[in-house]
């Protein structure tokens, strides 16, 4: 799946649901302070498996040399970074995330020794333009209040010829799954991913579907990790895309009661997507191979 047209002006926020109770930086920070406890062992087996990660890093991110300079944005516990270090020397890799709890887990991993690990905002990266050869972000875009701004930042920090690889959710088609998805966080359509990349200035944009082997490619319930989108930066400097003010200013005071309410309800909605993989795994075992599930 690919497209080549480019626009220079665009609305900076996704246009589907206004709810998304944990598509806010502060709620996401709270969410990950809890989920970081068992992220690699509870979340990943049902949503983002080793096979999915390795497929994306081996075939999509184009990590063809150990000398490439790579940034893993929203890298959390370093699960994806572990896949990157199999191709790239650790000293050439930077892992950045806003959650100190997730980064604490990353710093304890022996495989990531030598990787630069730092706190930072995906929508405002602390690097000059034309810094990295590869930009990787897996399981992060769904929490960005302003995904177009984050993709624009990906373009800015890449060198000419650099490749961005963003891995994220796909929107459900089943009404109940779509309801919980929209209450929880950003489940983008495949077309939205492509448009964000093109508007930022990326060329050769491609979207490839990924998912657990037992999911059989079903999109009815969506996937928390369901596609890998790549694009190539062809010109030096920042994107020519013009955006307005940030969707969320993390320095601005917010009502703590409202933050807690959004966090609580959003976490309840997230539980639905911890149950869906179990349901789909059972169906995969029961329904004969080759039949739709």
**Of 4, 11, 57, which Cα lies nearest the Cα of 231?**
4
- Whether 240 maps to a domain, the answer reads no
Domain count, the chain: 1
- Whether 6 maps to a domain, the answer reads no
DSSP 196-234: HHHHHT-EEEEEEE---GGGTT--TT-EEEEEEEEEE--
- Whether 269 maps to a domain, the answer reads yes
Instruction: Work out the average pLDDT over 242-261.
Output: 72
- Whether 5 maps to a domain, the answer reads no
CATH of the domain at 24: 3.40.50.150
Confidence of residue 256 (pLDDT cuts 50, 70, 90): confident
- Whether 291 maps to a domain, the answer reads no
Q: Which residues contact 109 (CB under 8 A, 6 or more apart)?
A: 77, 78, 82
Q: Which CA distances in Å does 285 have to 87, 280, 281?
A: 35, 9, 6
- Better-scored residue on pLDDT, 1 or 122: 122
Backbone angles phi, psi at 58, to 5 degrees: -75, -40
Please give the torsion angle defined by the CA atoms of residues 189, 191, 247 and 164, in that order, rounded to the nearest 10 degrees. Answer: 110
Secondary structure (3-state) at 93: strand
- Tell me, yes or no, if the pTM score tops 0.75: yes
* Strand order, beta sheet including 158-170: 2-3, 203-209, 223-232, 158-170, 132-138, 70-73, 93-97, 116-119
Domain boundaries, position 40 = 15-234+252-286
- Whether 111 maps to a domain, the answer reads yes
In whole angstroms, give the CA distance from residue 74 to residue 71.
10
> Mean of the per-residue pLDDT values for the chain?
85
- Better-scored residue on pLDDT, 18 or 83: 83
Digit-coded pLDDT (tens) for 119-151: 999 999 999 999 999 999 999 999 898 999 999
In whole angstroms, give the CA distance from residue 65 to residue 79.
20
- Whether 247 maps to a domain, the answer reads no
Q: Which CA distances in Å does 162 have to 70, 79, 95, 135, 198?
A: 10, 22, 17, 8, 15
Predicted pLDDT of residue 17: 46
In whole angstroms, give the CA distance from residue 225 to residue 210.
7
- Whether 8 maps to a domain, the answer reads no
Digit-coded pLDDT (tens) for 197-251: 999 999 999 999 998 888 876 788 888 889 999 999 999 999 999 998 776 655 5
- Better-scored residue on pLDDT, 111 or 27: 111
Secondary structure (3-state) at 240: coil
């Amino acid at each position: 799946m690919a497209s080549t047209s480019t626009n220079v002006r665009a609305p900076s926020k996704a246009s589907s649901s206004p709810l998304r109770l944990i598509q806010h930086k502060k709620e996401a920070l709270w969410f990950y302070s809890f989920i970081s406890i068992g992220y690699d062992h509870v979340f990943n087996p049902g949503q983002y498996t080793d096979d999915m990660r390795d497929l994306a890093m081996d075939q999509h991110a184009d990590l063809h040399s150990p000398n490439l300079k790579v940034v893993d944005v929203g890298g959390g516990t370093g699960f994806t970074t572990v896949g990157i270090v199999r191709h790239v020397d650790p000293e050439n890799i930077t892992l950045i995330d806003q959650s100190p709890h997730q980064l604490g887990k990353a710093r304890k991993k022996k495989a990531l020794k030598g990787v630069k690990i730092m706190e930072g905002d995906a929508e405002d990266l602390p690097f000059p333009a034309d810094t990295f050869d590869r930009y990787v972000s897996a399981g992060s875009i769904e929490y960005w209040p302003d995904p177009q701004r984050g993709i624009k930042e990906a373009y800015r920090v890449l060198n000419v010829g650099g490749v961005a690889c963003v891995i994220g959710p796909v929107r459900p088609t089943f009404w109940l799954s779509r309801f919980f998805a929209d209450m929880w966080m950003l489940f983008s359509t495949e077309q939205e991913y492509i448009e964000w990349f093109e508007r930022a200035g990326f060329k050769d944009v491609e979207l490839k579907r990924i998912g657990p082997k037992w999911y059989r490619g079903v999109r009815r319930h969506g996937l928390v990790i369901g596609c890998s989108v790549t694009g190539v930066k062809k010109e030096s400097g920042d994107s020519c895309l013009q955006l307005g003010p940030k969707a969320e200013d993390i320095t601005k005071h917010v009502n703590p009661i409202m933050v807690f309410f959004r966090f609580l309800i959003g976490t309840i909605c997230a539980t639905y997507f911890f149950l869906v993989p179990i349901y789909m795994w059972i169906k995969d075992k029961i329904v004969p191979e080759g039949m739709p599930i």
